[in-house]
Structure 1
Amino acid sequence: EEGNILIKEKKEGSSFVLQGIIYSPQGSVAIINNELLHEGDALMGQFKVKKIESNGVVLEKEGKEYFLKWEG
């Protein structure tokens, strides 16, 4: 299965803006707030990118999970 590249315009008024997902079995990348992030990366020093899925990104902070949904 080949990866998918999804891009959208930034929306204002949100702490985290999911701008794109490059989804691939070999290693996915998310574009959040103009940063390229891989699973395990830190975001704003407080959140961890736990999982990148084809429909969004799972962020973790202090044991709680937050799902940043792709709305492209």
Structure 2
Amino acid sequence: VAEAAVIGVPDERLGEVGKAFVVTLPGAALDKKSVIDYTREHPANFKTPRSVVFLDALPRNPGGKVVKTQLRSLTERA
């Protein structure tokens, strides 16, 4: 994983769950299951994202910060 960002998305049962946006290193073979399995082993279970989206790059503002509103709009379109 080169970089990642997580946003909260609505969930009927839990209220809100994490959705991860991941940029992989060039040539890396990574799938959604392996990302979720890895996060289950490391942070607390409630921090494990329920879904993963792979992107070529995270949207950033001129200051270099991730623009999470653009990640939300990607979620709403899907």
**TM-score, scaled to structure 2:** 0.27
CA radius of gyration, larger in: 2
**TM-score, scaled to structure 1:** 0.28
Which structure dedicates a bigger proportion of its chain to strand? 1
Which structure dedicates a bigger proportion of its chain to helix? 2
By relative contact order (CA 8 Å, sep 6+), the higher-ranking structure is 2
